[in-house]
Structure 1
Amino acid sequence: MKRPIWRLLWNSRREAVFDIALVAALEVLGRLLLHLFPEQIPPQSYDWIGGRDVSAVLSDLTCLLLLARRRYPLLLMSFFSVLTLAQVLLVSYGPGPLLPLNNYADPWIPGELPCVVYSVVVYPATRLKRLVGWNLIALVIFLAARLWHDPPVELLASAFLLTAFPAVLGLYVGARRRLEGALRDRAERAEREQHLLAEQARADERARLAAEMHDVVTHRVSLMVLQAGALGVTAKDEQTREAAEQLRASGCEALAELRDLVGVLRRAPEEEPEYEDPETTSVPDLADLISRSEAVGVPVELVEEGDYARVSPAVGRTAHRVVQEALTNVYKHAPGSQVRVDAVYGERVRLTVRNTASPHQPSADLAGSGSGTGLLGLRQRVDLVGGTLRAGAMADGGFQVDVILPAYVPTAEAADE
């Protein structure tokens, strides 16, 4: 994008408007002063430069130069110092003034010099430039007060008011700005520190939850798996052995999910654990979930794109839970509806579960079962692996769950069980 022209002189539109208004005000003020206090300089004093009109044009040009006072303060100060020196020499020893004067007793300086002195003090520069600027300020003070001979008190007062006072004012404004900048930096630093402390507190809480889940939940589920395995070995009838085997398999899946969840909780945000090959880790297959759903009377159309085998285990289990919860909600709240699951695997995993409007009234007992926080729990689980979840009703009366997950989420290595 092309840089605006006004950016060559100003950092913001506010600065541009202020400086343009300042130049316009100084132009009006200069003409007003010439009208209220007519010149007491002989007309022929300006003949050497072409008359008073040429002198007025030069005065207007020096006023326009103030538009560059923020970007080039030292350059303007150098120019105005030379102009002041030339004015003093021309009035004292030459043919006459270069710029308009009301009285020989006034300071022989350009009317815009106070603004230039203020600018060279306020606006930031290198140490060398500041040193040069102060030397030029001392020069114009010396020239304006004409300290090489005994100046009258009125001249001293007006000279110091137009040169030394802007410098002192610039020092005050510059110090105030530096103080405000330091306070702002301190406030931003304190805010960053509070954010880091909050992040550390969250990381500590995650680690505490991970330790508690590992020590309590994993231990209990492991005992359940062992007992189910023992029951399957000692049971005499086939139905009991099948039930025990299903219980043991479900417990193993729960342990795997707990291991992934504990790993995610233990992982600090800045950590980069070693890559875990998904091909060596059991990842739930959506096709098996769909078949089980169809077995309980919920037919589902599954459309998959991409390579599911390269999905991180933690992400795969999260995707499995998302589809499982969505299908459970369809079974509870939209019996008989048509369901479609779209899964796209790539750099990101996108799952979309849609169901049409239900042709039947859902069972009150079945719809009222559960805690009512299924979607909230899914959202928290999706957030835990860095994904996003959107769910809501569609225009045709159906419902849609749309989830985007990262394809790979590293987990810290779980402790030995």
Structure 2
Amino acid sequence: MDPIMCGNVMEEDYKNLKISVLQLPTRDRLSCMLNTKKVLCSSEKLPRDWRGLCTLLKYTIPSGCDPNEPINKIFKFCEFKTTIADFLLCLERIDRFDVIDDTIDLISCDIVSFKEKQYSIAIPTPVIHHDDFDNNIITLDDDLAFNNGLPLPRYDAFLLYDDADIQLAATVVDKLETEYALKLCLKERDLRPGIMFEYMSIMKLISDRCNWLIIILTDDFLNSPWNRFIMNYTQSLAIEQRLPKIIPCVFNNCILPEELKCYVNLYFNKYNPFCDPWYKLRITVSPNSRNKLTNSNQISKIDKSTNKNSSVTVIEHKDPVVISCEEQIEEHNISTESQNISNRLAKSFKNVSIRVIPKKWKKKLSKKIVEGF
């Protein structure tokens, strides 16, 4: 049988390719035409349906199996064993030329599609691979870190606000990121486009990679069920982890809900000479900066105190007064009396240095010292 050519399909393709390349529409068409039992037999006394194929392909449907869709069972058995040319020859032997005529175009197109896929595999194009790690890639920063082989970034805080308070959010972002160099995460700015289940991604960010949740509290925020849901989730997360997690920032005269009255809130809508809410927000979100500030303050205090002490107590003498008791010294041993004298002198001259004079200078200097006394 000479197969009909379709496009780039050659006779060798029918001989070399297995029936596994046949796609679902082709298989459905074959099943529809061959599952129905025929009464008349072929010229070789073979049933002109799936039973004849079973005989020629040496396949027996196991007893007890569902007899429905026998062609699908035949395909599962011999799809990697039988070539397309052998399958078409079996159809000829059971006198089903009608099946060949109805499906040959579909078969040829399946071969063309398979060869195109093989060509694309041989010359691969850049592909974005999706694996289990992609579940953790939530933000645009994650994409950049993943592509460069870096660990996923952490954020100092996730900023939660209502869409009506976008100007307040811009003020907070400008203050914390530009002036204080903190790293915030915002839903509209940082979330990667195309991720599914936005609320689940935000919950994962807050629980795993954000140290704090900063809330811009306004009437619009409290009227949003979505914002209340994220806030309540973070509150339960804080209880579970036994860590503070929420920083409520009040920007207008809204009525605080009961679940937020237990927190120390930052009031940006009230003036208090004893409280700078921006400073408190900064040192809370970024404890490292607080440690640096306290350490630098302590160091500056120590430097000032040492400078004061040095100016009072430290006296430098270019020509220090030298005290030596030659008459009491023998070789390298100092007698008890000379030690008492040096101790008394040290008490009376606290900033006077005492040095041991080489032997050759002792005679000259001892006279001056004795004359001085």
TM-score, with normalisation over the residues of structure 1? 0.21
TM-score, with normalisation over the residues of structure 2? 0.23
